[in-house]
Structure 1
Amino acid sequence: MDNKPPRDAVATARICSSFLVSKIPFPAHGTPGRSKGFTGFKRRRTSWHRSIKRDPGSSLSAQKYHAGASGSARSSAMSAPTLRERIKGVSLIFACGTALFSDGYGNGIIGSVNTLLKRIYGAEAFPQKYSITLNSAVFAGTILGMLTFGWISDKIGRKFGMMTSAGIVAFFSALSAASSGAHHSVHGLLAMLITCRFFLGIGIGAEYPTGSVSCSEQTEGKAVAKNAQHRWFALATNCMIDLAFCVAAFVPLVLYWIFGPHHLRAVWRLSLGLGFIPAIAVFAWRWSMEEPEMYKKSSMKVVKIPYSLVLRRYGLQLAAISFTWFIYDFITYPFGIYSSTVVDTITGGDSSLTVVFGWNVVINLFYMPGTIIGAFVVDYLGPKWTMITGLLFQAFFGFIMSGFYSQLKKHIAGFAVIYGIFLCFGEFGPGNNLGLLASKSSPTAVRGQFYGVAAAIGKIGAFVGTWAFPPMIDSFQKHHPNNPDWGNTGPFWVGSGLAILSALVTLLFIKPLDHDGMAKEDALFREYLEEHGFDTSGMGFVDSTESRSVSIPEELDEKEKVPAYAACFRSTMSSSAAASSSKPAETKTAEKPKEARQAQLGVLEEDDEFEEFPVADWDDAQTDLAHLGGAAPGAAKSGGDKLWEDNWDDDDIEDEFSVQLRNELAKKSKGGDAMEH
Structure 2
Amino acid sequence: MSKTMINETVPANDGFKQKPDIVQTEFVDSTDPSFDSDLEKKKSFSQKLSLIFASIALGSDGYQANIIGSVEACLQKIYGASVLANGLSTRVSNAMLIGDIVGQVGFGVLIDRLGRKFGIISCTMFVCLGIILATASSGVTPTGLIWMLIIARGLTGVGVGGEYPCSSVTAGEAAEESGRSRGKWLILSGNFIIDVGFVVATIIPVILLAICGEGGLEVVWRLSLGLGLLLPLNVLYFRLKMLNSEMYTKEALTRKVPYALIFKKYWPKLLVTGGIWFLYDFVSYSFGIFSDTILSVAVPGNSLMQTFQWNIVLNVFYPFGAAAGAFFIDRLGPKKLMASGFFIQAVIGIIVGALAPQIISNAFPAFVILYGFFLFFGEFGPGDCTILVSAEMYPTAIRGTMYGLSAALGKAGAAIGTQVFKPILAALTETTGDSLRAQGYLFIIGSCIGLLGCALTLLFIPNASKSSKELDDEFRQLLQDNGYDVNQLGFGHHIENTMETAESKQQQLQN
TM-score, length basis structure 1 = 0.67
Offset at residue 572 of structure 1 (A): 3.3
Cα gap change, 1:87 to 1:425, in 2 (>3 Å): farther
Counterpart amino acid of 1:539? L
Q: Aligned pair in 2 of structure 1 residues 281, 4: CA closer, same or farther (>3 Å)?
A: closer
Where does 1:270-669 land on structure 2 (aligned, <5 Å)? 270-301=223-254, 303-348=255-300, 350-410=301-361, 411-481=363-433, 483-514=434-465, 517-542=467-492, 570-574=496-500
How far apart in 2 are the matches of 1:396 and 1:170? 40
Change in Cα spacing, 1:535 to 1:215, as seen in structure 2 (3 Å) is same
> Deviation string for 1:224-258 (max 9, x for gaps)?
33xx2211111111111100110000100000011
Conserved in 2, the CA contact under 8 Å of 1:390 and 1:425? yes
Q: Report the Cα distance in structure 2 between the residues aligned to 1:330 and 1:294, rounded to whole angstroms.
A: 33
Query: Of 157, 174, 184, which residue of structure 2 is paired with 1:218?
Result: 174
Deviations 1:46-102 (A, max 9, x none): xxxxxxxxx94224699xxxxxxxxxxxxxxx99x9999867634422223431222
Say whether the 8 Å CA contact 1:322–1:457 is kept in structure 2.
yes
- 1:562 match: none
Seen in structure 2, the aligned counterparts of structure 1 residues 484 and 141 have a Cα distance that, compared at 3 Å, is closer
CA separation in 2, counterparts of 1:128 and 1:415?
A: 31
**Compared CA separation, residues 243 and 299, structure 1 to 2 (3 A):** same
1:263-300: CA deviation from partner (whole Å, max 9, x where unpaired): 11100010011111111112122110011111111011
Task: Give, in angstroms, the shift of residue 106 of structure 1.
Answer: 1.2
Number of equivalenced pairs: 483
Q: Which has the higher contact order (CA 8 A, sep 6+)?
A: 1
* Counterpart residue identity of residue 367, structure 1: Y
Larger proportion of helix:
2
| Alpha-carbon distance in structure 2 between the residues aligned to 1:140 and 1:422 | 26
Q: Is 1:92 the counterpart of 2:18 in the alignment?
A: no
**For the residues of structure 1 that align with 2:404 and 2:332, how far apart are their CA atoms?**
26
| Aligned-residue identity in percent | 36
Q: Distance in 2 between matches of 1:325 and 1:57?
A: 47
2:191 to 203, 224, 238: 238
Q: Note closer, same or farther for the CA distance 1:254–1:128 as it changes in structure 2 (3 Å cut).
A: farther
SS at match of 1:573: helix
Partners in 2 of 1:129 and 1:576 — Cα distance?
61
Q: Give the direction of change, closer, same or farther, for the CA distance of 1:467–1:576 in structure 2 (3 Å limit).
A: closer
In the alignment, the residues of structure 2 paired with residue 117 and residue 463 of structure 1 have an alpha-carbon distance, to the nearest angstrom, of: 21
CA deviation string 1:533-589 (max 9, x = no partner): 2221101115665xxxxxxxxxxxxxxxxxxxxxxxx543349978xx9xxxxxxxx
**Structure 1 runs not aligned, ≥5 long:** 6-33, 37-54, 63-77, 546-569, 582-677
* CA distance in structure 2 between the partners assigned to 1:167 and 1:149 by the alignment: 13
What is the DSSP-based 3-state SS (H/G/I as helix, E as strand, rest coil) of the residue aligned with 2:137? coil
Q: State the distance in 2 between where 1:332 and 1:208 align.
A: 16
Give the letter aligned to residue 256 of structure 2. K
The amino acid across from 1:220 in the alignment is E
Match of 1:57, SS state, is strand
Provide the C-alpha distance between the structure 2 equivalents of 1:313 and 1:405, rounded to a whole number of angstroms.
46
Distance 2:45 2:325 in 1: 22
- C-alpha separation in 1, matches of 2:64 and 2:258: 36
Q: Out of 162, 167, 173, which is 1:206 matched to? A: 162
Give the deviation of 1:491 after TM superposition: 2.1
2:145 corresponds to 1:192: no
Q: Secondary structure at the match of 1:237?
A: helix
Q: Distance in 2 between matches of 1:478 and 1:257?
A: 36
Match of 1:108 among 49, 52, 66: 66
2:132 to 156, 174, 186: 174
SS at match of 1:540: coil
Code of the residue aligned with 1:379 in structure 2: it is D
- Tell me the CA shift for residue 518 of structure 1: 1.3
1:492-532, Cα deviation, whole Å (9 max, x unpaired): 111111111111111111224447x1122001111122123
Which amino acid counterpart does residue 388 of structure 2 have in structure 1?
L
Structure 2 gaps of 5+ residues are 4-15, 19-25
Higher Cα Rg: structure 1 or 2? 1
Q: CA RMSD in A?
A: 2.7
8 Å CA contact 1:231, 1:378 repeated in 2: yes
**In 2, Cα distance between equivalents of 1:512 and 1:103:** 31
Task: Decide whether aligned partners of structure 1 residues 246 and 484 sit closer, same or farther in structure 2, where only a CA change above 3 A counts.
Answer: closer
Partner of 2:214 in structure 1? 261
Q: Is the 8 A contact 2:392 2:465 kept in 1?
A: no
- Distance, in Å, in 2 between the alignment partners of 1:4 and 1:211 is 36
Separation in 2, partners of 1:61, 1:219: 29
Q: Is the 8 A contact 1:370 1:427 kept in 2?
A: yes
Residue 447 of structure 1 aligns to which amino acid in structure 2?
R
Structure 1 contact 102–169 (Cα < 8 Å) conserved: no
> Which amino acid in the other structure matches residue 460 of structure 1?
A
Residues 536 and 460 (structure 1), Cα distance of their counterparts in 2 relative to 1, 3 Å cut = same
Distance across 2 between alignment mates of 1:86 and 1:370:
30
Q: Aligned-pair distance for 1:443? A: 1.1
- Deviation string 1:392-450 (CA, Å, 9 cap, x unpaired) is 11111111111110122122210111000000011111111111111121111111110
State how far apart, in whole Å, the 1-side matches of 2:356 and 2:196 are.
Answer: 27
Given that 2:50 and 2:170 are in contact with CA atoms closer than 8 Å, whether structure 1 keeps it comes out as no
Work out whether residues 119 and 162 of structure 2, in 8 Å CA contact, stay in contact via their aligned partners in 1. Answer: yes
SS of residue paired to 1:436: helix
CA contact (8 A) 1:90 1:232 kept: no
For the residue of structure 1 that corresponds to 2:161, the secondary structure is helix
The corresponding residue for 1:565 is none
Superposed CA deviations along residues 460-510 of structure 1, whole A, max 9, x for unmatched, are: 1110011111121233334434x4422212321111111111111111112
Please say if residues 86 and 224 of structure 1, whose CA atoms lie closer than 8 Å, have aligned partners that are also in contact: no
Q: 1:57-96 to 2 correspondence within 5 Å?
A: 57-59=28-30, 89-96=47-54
Give the corresponding residue for 1:30. Answer: none
Deviation at 1:454, TM superposition (A): 0.7
Query: Which letter does structure 1 place at the counterpart of 2:144?
Result: G
- CA contact under 8 A between 2:49 and 2:242: conserved in structure 1? no
